[in-house]
A and B are shown apart, each in its own frame.
Chain A
Amino acid sequence: MTTDRSIIVDSLGVGLATGAYGVSFGAISTASGLSVLQTCLISLLVFTGASQFAFVGIIASGGNPLTGALTAILLGSRNLFYGVSMAPKLDLDPAQRLATAHFVIDESTAMGVTRTSRRQARLGFYWTGISIFVLWNLSTAAGAWAGNAIGDPRTYGLDAAVGAAFLGLLWPRLSSVQGRLVALVGAAVALGLVPVTSAGLPIILGGGTAVLLGMLWRPGGRS
């Protein structure tokens, strides 16, 4: 039987492992030309990893910040569904919802939504979400400060670290054929557009095309 204690221990484990990679966000963000203050505020206020990486990635490649924000918001759309699946387990009034919404992310949902009792769902969700939040922000600050101090980011391969970070975020979605195809189409279209559109647009247009094709494609030939 799953005890409250084991849920808390597991949640803190996930919090530690996930929160620590805020270091790479902090370093990559300052290497992309954002200030330490901007970097820390993003982790504090946006707090959804893939979206944050996308935003600074687009800024780094010379894209418009609004294109970056739009990409970040699109990537954050999955949090909408996480919220829907957590809501019945959390059972919140409007004020509690406002205080809780910030902690709706991949990991807190994963650690909360699978629990059988409402009490354990809440334990998993909050311990995971809050421990990641605390550590993510501390490690972002550390990474931002270090990244800011070292000079040209290319010397340290920080530009290459962005691609690796995105691949790490994409990896779990490559387990299905459809995930692989959609990612590949997104990459191919984006790359084709790089020479002919302004920075940032290839990502939105490539991702958008891939999603549209993915929605038209019916696995197994169903119509």
Chain B
Amino acid sequence: MTALWGGIVVMTVGCFALKYAGLSVPERVLQHPLTVRAVELIPAGLLGALIAVQVFADGSSVQVDARLLALGVAAVLLALRVPFLPMVVAAAVVAALVRQL
């Protein structure tokens, strides 16, 4: 089994276990304020980090290129309440066009 398949299996089991546990665990077990707060903050922290790496990293170096412009376009479209799919497609098209220039 390759590492990639291994990662897929771990992710599958882990993600399902969380969903199943949520339906099974009594509410008071998870009521600790620290747990609630951590789970509230995790998506923002991780997605912030993911965006930064996705947009600026090229291997182990940091660089600014067409991806940043695409992200800017995505932000403007989101502010204008454009739905997810057209927003993502527009960002890709902008990056593709800039690279053609």
Contact = CB atoms under 8 A, between A and B. Distances in A.
A81 to B, nearest CB: 6
Contacts of A94: 24
Interface residues of B, number: 71
Interface in B69-101: 70-71, 73-75, 78, 83-85, 87-97, 99
B49 A73 contact: no
Assign chain A's interface to a size class: 35 or more
A56 to B, nearest CB: 10
B19 A211 contact: no
Contact of A34 (B4, B57, B97): B4
A185 B48 contact: yes
B22 to A, nearest CB: 2
A74 B50 contact: no
A173 B56 CA distance: 22
B22 A57 contact: no
A194 B62 contact: yes
A161 B89 CA distance: 7
Contacts of B10: 65-66, 69-70, 73
Contact of A163 (B44, B74, B78, B85): B74
Interface string B5-17: 1111011101110
Contacts of A160: 55, 66-67, 70-71, 91-92, 94-96
Task: Name, among A69, A157, A170, A203, the residue most crowded by chain B CB atoms within 10 Å (CB to CB).
Answer: A157
A75 B36 CA distance: 14
Nearest to B24: A97
A163 B61 CA distance: 17
Nearest to B20: A101
B39 A77 contact: yes
7 contacts: A80-B25, A83-B22, A98-B20, A160-B71, A162-B54, A170-B43, A202-B53
Q: Report, nearest first, the 7 A-B pairs whose CB atoms are least far apart.
A: A83-B22, A65-B7, A157-B95, A183-B48, A186-B48, A210-B45, A160-B95
